[in-house]
């Protein structure tokens, strides 16, 4: 997808991505016309308690996983930067300050996450979750369990990055600093874009569209909860329309803007229950899908086709596990009525192409910045151009022949010296070696 195809494994992987994209596009088109009907197929599943709890687990993992992801990616960036500045002894202490701050923030997040599930009233009664029709005590157990798992992963990653990764000889050579930055920017920019679209479209959840049936379904809402909601619960948290908030919200297709700009106003100055407050009722696109995609971006940018001529078993296992996890998040969001099919598929389609845009953008900026910096420091920018019939490969080298970054350019035309000269001028190339080959 991003790389030149060199073997059967890479072809199969790229074909798999094409099939995945095609299937997602098909489902997105399907959901544009039959979104409501598709979600109604999953509607009865929430009546089973073990399914509700299973969905609750992945609802919470979707909010805790990004914290762990950003910690690991920023840590790789910090360790790579420390390797670059190894001659400066202050960096040894600064890196430990970073880890101390990261651990404090991690603990603070977990405590805040736990406290957010205490003393809550969603309108069905104190300590009752209106989303999952269970006591919040169950939710607190889920949060504690996930926090323990995340703590173990954090500890293992801290040990590896601090005492193993930082001593690797290929940290500079493989440009892990840039790879981490690309991954971080891809994940962050996609999530921000999703938040902006959420508050702009402000699409009601399927939960709201189905709220009248939910309120009258004794397999989900007990009579005591219903009486509490109709008497005073709707004043605490209004889930529907009408004087008592017991009427379903009309279905809104994904391409309709529901309540702009009130979503933005409520997000900034609203109160609990307002549409837009805390991204409430902002269903399109899916934030959980965007957060889950961050791991995919890491696999894209940290895979090196030159170091790994074939996909390793570890890489294949990681990608397969991630696809399995992605599908679990996907279907639990449908079952729990927190997302429409179109919300999820739209985010998947955008996520597949997102790193291509980020990769090209950063490469253009990074190449010129690094080359300009080297030129000012009187460091000779050297490159090798391996040229065949229609492809030019340019590889930057740092001093002592250690390359810090590499880049390939593809042209449909035959060898063009003018393009080559423009490239040398743009990136301050002092020495360029040209190697011609007939191989692809």
Give the tens place of pLDDT for each residue, 33-71: 999 999 999 999 999 999 999 999 999 998 888 889 999
Q: What is the dihedral of CA 247, 213, 56, 203, to 10 degrees?
A: -40
Contact 2, 359 (CB under 8 A): yes
Domain boundaries, the chain: 8-365, 380-436
Rounded CA-CA distance 288/331 in Å is: 11
CA distance 180 to 84: 14
Q: Give pTM, 2 decimals.
A: 0.82
Q: How many helices (H) and strands (E) does the chain have?
A: 14, 6
Task: Work out whether the CA dihedral 314, 315, 320, 321 comes out positive or negative.
Answer: positive
Q: How far apart are CA 82 and CA 263, in angstroms?
A: 43
Cα separation of 66 and 72, whole Å? 10
Q: How confident is the model at residue 103, as a pLDDT? A: 95
Distance of CA 170 to the CA centre of its chain: 27
Work out the angle at residue 252's Cα, subtended by the Cα atoms of residues 249 and 256, and round it to the nearest 5 degrees: 140
| Low pLDDT (below 70) residues in the chain | 1-12, 87-88, 303-312, 384-417, 419, 435-440
CB 304 within 8 A of CB 408: no
In this prediction, residue 85 carries a pLDDT of 75
Peptide bond into 136 cis (omega under 30): no
284, 198 Cβ separation under 8 angstroms: yes
Asked whether the beta carbons of 147 and 266 are under 8 A apart, the reply is: no
Give per-residue pLDDT as tens, 154-197: 999 999 999 999 888 878 777 788 888 888 988 999 999 999 99
């Amino acid at each position: 997808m991003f790389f030149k195809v060199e073997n059967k494994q890479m072809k199969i992987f790229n074909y798999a991505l094409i099939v995945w994209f095609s299937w997602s596009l098909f489902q997105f088109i399907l959901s544009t016309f039959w979104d409501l009907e598709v979600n109604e197929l999953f509607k009865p599943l929430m009546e089973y308690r073990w399914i509700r709890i299973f969905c609750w687990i992945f609802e919470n993992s979707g909010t805790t996983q990004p914290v762990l992801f950003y910690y690991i990616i920023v840590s790789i960036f910090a360790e790579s930067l420390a390797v670059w500045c190894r001659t400066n002894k202050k960096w040894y202490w600064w890196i430990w300050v970073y880890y101390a701050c990261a651990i404090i923030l991690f603990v603070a997040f977990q405590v805040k996450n736990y406290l957010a599930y205490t003393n809550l009233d969603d309108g069905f009664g104190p300590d009752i979750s209106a989303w999952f029709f269970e006591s919040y005590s169950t939710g607190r157990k889920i949060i504690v369990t996930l926090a323990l798992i995340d703590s173990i992963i954090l500890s293992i990653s801290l040990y590896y990055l601090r005492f193993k990764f930082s001593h690797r000889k290929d940290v500079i050579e493989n440009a892990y600093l840039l790879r981490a930055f690309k991954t971080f920017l891809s994940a962050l920019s996609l999530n921000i874009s999703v938040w902006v679209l959420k508050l702009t479209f402000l699409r009601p959840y399927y939960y709201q569209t189905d709220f009248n049936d939910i309120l009258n379904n004794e397999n989900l809402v007990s009579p005591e909860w219903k009486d509490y909601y109709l008497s005073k619960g709707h004043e605490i948290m209004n889930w529907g329309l009408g004087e008592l908030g017991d009427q379903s919200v009309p279905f809104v297709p994904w391409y309709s803007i529901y309540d702009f700009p009130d979503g933005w106003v409520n997000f900034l100055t609203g109160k609990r229950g307002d549409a837009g407050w805390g991204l409430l009722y902002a269903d399109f696109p899916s934030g959980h899908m965007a957060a889950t995609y961050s791991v995919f971006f890491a696999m894209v940018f940290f895979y090196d086709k030159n170091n790994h001529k074939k996909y390793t078993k570890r890489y294949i296992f990681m990608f397969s596990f991630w696809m399995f996890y992605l599908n679990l998040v996907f279907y639990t969001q449908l079952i729990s009525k927190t997302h429409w099919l179109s919300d999820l598929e739209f985010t998947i389609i955008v996520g597949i192409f997102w790193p291509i845009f980020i990769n090209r953008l950063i490469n253009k900026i990074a190449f010129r910045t690094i080359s300009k910096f080297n030129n000012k420091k009187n460091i000779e920018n050297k490159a090798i151009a391996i040229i065949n019939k229609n492809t030019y490969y340019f590889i930057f080298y740092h001093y002592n022949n250690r390359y810090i970054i590499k880049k390939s350019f593809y042209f449909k035309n035959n060898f063009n010296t003018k393009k080559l000269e423009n490239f040398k001028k743009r990136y301050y190339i002092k020495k360029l070696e040209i190697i011609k080959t007939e191989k692809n």
